[in-house]
Structure 1
Amino acid sequence: MPPTPSKRLYTQSTSESVTEPIQVNTVVIIHPGSLNLRIGRASDTFPITIPHCIARKKKNTSSSDYKSSWMIRSESMYGEMKQQQKLALKLAEDTMASKPMSSGEYRQSIAPKLYHAFNSAVKCVKTDVICSKKWTSTDNQAPYIIGDEALYCHPRSGYILHWPIRRGHLNLHDGPGGSMSSVLADLEVIWGQAIEQFLDIPLKDLKIYRAILLIPDVYEHKHVKELMCLLLDRLGFGSAIVHQESVCASFGTGVSSACVVDIGDQKTSICCVEDGISLKNTRITMEYGGCDVSRCLHTLMGRAGFIPRDLDLSNTVDCLLLQEIKETCCHLDQDSYGVIEQTIQIKKPEQNILKYPLKFGDEFHIAAFSVFFPDIYGLQGTHLVHVQKRFSGDPEDPHDEFYLRQTQSQQQSSKPSKKKETSLADISTRDETSLSMFEDSQLMAAQMDEDSTDGQDVLSTTDNVKIPRRTELEEEQEQEAEEVTQLMGIDQAILYSIDKCASDELKKKMYSCIVVVGGGMNFEGAQQWLQYRVWVGMPAQYRLMLETMDVITRPKETDPQLTSWKGATILACLDTTHELWIKKKEWDQFNVRMLRERAPFVW
Structure 2
Amino acid sequence: MPPRKANRPSKKDEGLARTDNNLKNHSWPVVYPINQKNFYTDYLKRDDQALVWRQRSEVPRPEREVKDRGPILDGEPEKDSVGTDGKEDEEHPEVWGSRVIIIHPGSRNLRIGRASDALPKTIPNVIARQHAQSEWEEDPHPRPKRLRMEEEPKDDLEDAGDNTPQRRTRGSSRKSASLAEKEPSCAESSFQTLFNEISQELKMQMRQNKRRVLPNSREGVINHNKKYVPENIKEHNDPYRAEWTSVDTSLLHFVGQEALHIADNSLPRYKLFWPLRDGVFNEHDYLSKRRWHEDVTVILRESFLKELSIGPGDYEALSAVLVIPDLYDRIYVTEMLDLLLREFRFAQVCLFQESVAATYGAGFSSACIVDIGAQKTSISCVEEGMVIPDSRLNLKFGGDDVTTTFVQMLLTNSFPYSDINLLRRYDYLLAEDLKVKYTSLNEADVVVQFHNFHVRAPGEETIKYGFKTYDEVYLAPFSLFHPGILDTTDKLRGRRSLWERSYDLYDDVPNDPVSLAQESLHRPATAPAPATVNEDIEMTDDTNSAIPNKPTSTSLTVPTAGFESTPKTSHGGSPVPEEVSDIPEGANKAIVGNGHSKAGGSDPGDPDPEIEALPMLPLDLAIIESIRYAAKGDEKRSKDFFSGILLVGGGSLTAGLNHLLEERLIRQRGGLGNLTISSPPRELDPQVLVWKGASVFGKLTSTNEVWIKQSEYDILNSRVLPYKTLWMW
Deviation at 1:67, TM superposition (A): 5.6
Alpha-carbon separation, structure 2, partners of 1:284 and 1:4: 34
Whether 1:504 and 2:635 are equivalent positions in the alignment is yes
The answer for the alignment partner of 1:253 in structure 2 is: 362
- Work out whether residues 225 and 415 of structure 2, in 8 Å CA contact, stay in contact via their aligned partners in 1: yes
Alpha-carbon separation, structure 1, partners of 2:376 and 2:646: 16
Q: Deviations over 1:337-387 (max 9, x none)?
A: 321111132222454332222222111111121111111214369979x9x
The alignment of Structure 1 onto Structure 2 pairs a total of residues equal to 519
Deviation at 1:334, TM superposition (A): 1.6
Deviation at 1:299, TM superposition (A): 1.1
Match for 2:282: what amino acid? N
Cα gap change, 1:514/1:377 in structure 2, threshold over 3 Å: closer, same or farther? same
Whether 1:513 and 2:644 are equivalent positions in the alignment is yes
The answer for the alignment partner of 1:269 in structure 2 is: 378
Alpha-carbon separation, structure 2, partners of 1:578 and 1:66: 51
Alpha-carbon separation, structure 1, partners of 2:269 and 2:648: 37
Alpha-carbon separation, structure 1, partners of 2:215 and 2:723: 57
Cα gap change, 1:109/1:523 in structure 2, threshold over 3 Å: closer, same or farther? farther
Cα gap change, 1:72/1:187 in structure 2, threshold over 3 Å: closer, same or farther? farther
Cα gap change, 1:275/1:95 in structure 2, threshold over 3 Å: closer, same or farther? farther
Cα gap change, 1:509/1:118 in structure 2, threshold over 3 Å: closer, same or farther? same
Cα gap change, 1:40/1:508 in structure 2, threshold over 3 Å: closer, same or farther? same
Deviation at 1:73, TM superposition (A): 8.3
Out of 478, 487, 496, the residue aligned to residue 616 of structure 2 is: 487
Q: Following superposition of structure 1 onto structure 2, how do residues 38-437 of structure 1 map, counting pairs within 5 Å?
A: 38-58=111-131, 61=132, 72=143, 80=184, 82-99=188-205, 104-105=210-211, 107=213, 111-128=217-234, 129-130=237-238, 131-139=240-248, 141-155=250-264, 156=266, 157-173=268-284, 175=285, 177-349=286-458, 351-379=460-488, 392-393=502-503, 395=505
Alpha-carbon separation, structure 2, partners of 1:355 and 1:72: 22
Match for 1:39: what amino acid? I
- Work out whether residues 105 and 125 of structure 2, in 8 Å CA contact, stay in contact via their aligned partners in 1: yes
Whether 1:558 and 2:656 are equivalent positions in the alignment is no
- Work out whether residues 392 and 626 of structure 2, in 8 Å CA contact, stay in contact via their aligned partners in 1: yes
Moved more, 308-317 or 190-199: 308-317
Whether 1:585 and 2:585 are equivalent positions in the alignment is no
- Work out whether residues 241 and 582 of structure 1, in 8 Å CA contact, stay in contact via their aligned partners in 2: yes
Alpha-carbon separation, structure 2, partners of 1:368 and 1:357: 22
Structure having greater relative contact order (Cα 8 Å, sep ≥ 6): 1
- Work out whether residues 454 and 463 of structure 2, in 8 Å CA contact, stay in contact via their aligned partners in 1: yes
- Work out whether residues 396 and 491 of structure 2, in 8 Å CA contact, stay in contact via their aligned partners in 1: no
Deviation at 1:142, TM superposition (A): 1.8
Deviation at 1:99, TM superposition (A): 4.0
Secondary structure at 2:50's aligned position in 1?
helix
Match for 1:493: what amino acid? A
- Work out whether residues 101 and 335 of structure 1, in 8 Å CA contact, stay in contact via their aligned partners in 2: no
Match for 2:693: what amino acid? G
Match for 2:191: what amino acid? Q
Whether 1:529 and 2:667 are equivalent positions in the alignment is no
Secondary structure at 1:266's aligned position in 2?
coil
Alpha-carbon separation, structure 2, partners of 1:527 and 1:65: 36
Cα gap change, 1:280/1:531 in structure 2, threshold over 3 Å: closer, same or farther? same
Whether 1:9 and 2:32 are equivalent positions in the alignment is no
The answer for the alignment partner of 1:30 in structure 2 is: 103
Cα gap change, 1:30/1:283 in structure 2, threshold over 3 Å: closer, same or farther? same
Alpha-carbon separation, structure 2, partners of 1:209 and 1:4: 32
Alpha-carbon separation, structure 1, partners of 2:349 and 2:141: 31
Deviation at 1:71, TM superposition (A): 9.9
Alpha-carbon separation, structure 2, partners of 1:601 and 1:315: 42
Alpha-carbon separation, structure 1, partners of 2:689 and 2:322: 14
Q: Deviations over 1:299-355 (max 9, x none)?
A: 111121214234212212211111011101111112223211111322224543322
- Work out whether residues 401 and 487 of structure 2, in 8 Å CA contact, stay in contact via their aligned partners in 1: no
Secondary structure at 1:355's aligned position in 2?
strand
Q: Deviations over 1:367-411 (max 9, x none)?
A: 121111111214369979x9xxxx84354xx699999xxxxxxxx
Deviation at 1:18, TM superposition (A): 5.1
The answer for the alignment partner of 2:575 in structure 1 is: 476
Secondary structure at 1:564's aligned position in 2?
helix
Q: Deviations over 1:54-111 (max 9, x none)?
A: 11233xx59999969999589x998556453344334433443344599854655764
Alpha-carbon separation, structure 1, partners of 2:330 and 2:386: 18
Whether 1:572 and 2:698 are equivalent positions in the alignment is yes
Identical aligned residues as a percent: 29
The answer for the alignment partner of 1:594 in structure 2 is: 720
The answer for the alignment partner of 1:465 in structure 2 is: none
Secondary structure at 1:195's aligned position in 2?
helix
- Work out whether residues 132 and 349 of structure 1, in 8 Å CA contact, stay in contact via their aligned partners in 2: no
Match for 2:50: what amino acid? R
Cα gap change, 1:362/1:63 in structure 2, threshold over 3 Å: closer, same or farther? closer
Alpha-carbon separation, structure 2, partners of 1:564 and 1:312: 32
Match for 2:401: what amino acid? D
- Work out whether residues 296 and 367 of structure 1, in 8 Å CA contact, stay in contact via their aligned partners in 2: yes
Q: Deviations over 1:467-499 (max 9, x none)?
A: xxxx99x95359989996531121111111112
- Work out whether residues 98 and 106 of structure 1, in 8 Å CA contact, stay in contact via their aligned partners in 2: no
Cα gap change, 1:158/1:347 in structure 2, threshold over 3 Å: closer, same or farther? closer
Alpha-carbon separation, structure 2, partners of 1:520 and 1:55: 26
Alpha-carbon separation, structure 2, partners of 1:581 and 1:8: 15
Secondary structure at 1:243's aligned position in 2?
strand
Alpha-carbon RMSD: 3.6
Secondary structure at 1:318's aligned position in 2?
helix
- Work out whether residues 310 and 346 of structure 1, in 8 Å CA contact, stay in contact via their aligned partners in 2: no
Alpha-carbon separation, structure 2, partners of 1:263 and 1:554: 14
- Work out whether residues 446 and 473 of structure 2, in 8 Å CA contact, stay in contact via their aligned partners in 1: no
Alpha-carbon separation, structure 2, partners of 1:377 and 1:110: 26
Alpha-carbon separation, structure 1, partners of 2:401 and 2:199: 18
Alpha-carbon separation, structure 2, partners of 1:39 and 1:499: 35
Deviation at 1:580, TM superposition (A): 0.8
- Work out whether residues 135 and 423 of structure 2, in 8 Å CA contact, stay in contact via their aligned partners in 1: no
Moved more, 79-88 or 498-507: 79-88
- Work out whether residues 40 and 199 of structure 1, in 8 Å CA contact, stay in contact via their aligned partners in 2: yes
Secondary structure at 2:244's aligned position in 1?
coil
Point out where structure 2 has 5 or more consecutive residues left out of the alignment.
1-40, 71-95, 149-179, 496-500, 512-568, 591-613
Alpha-carbon separation, structure 2, partners of 1:194 and 1:307: 38
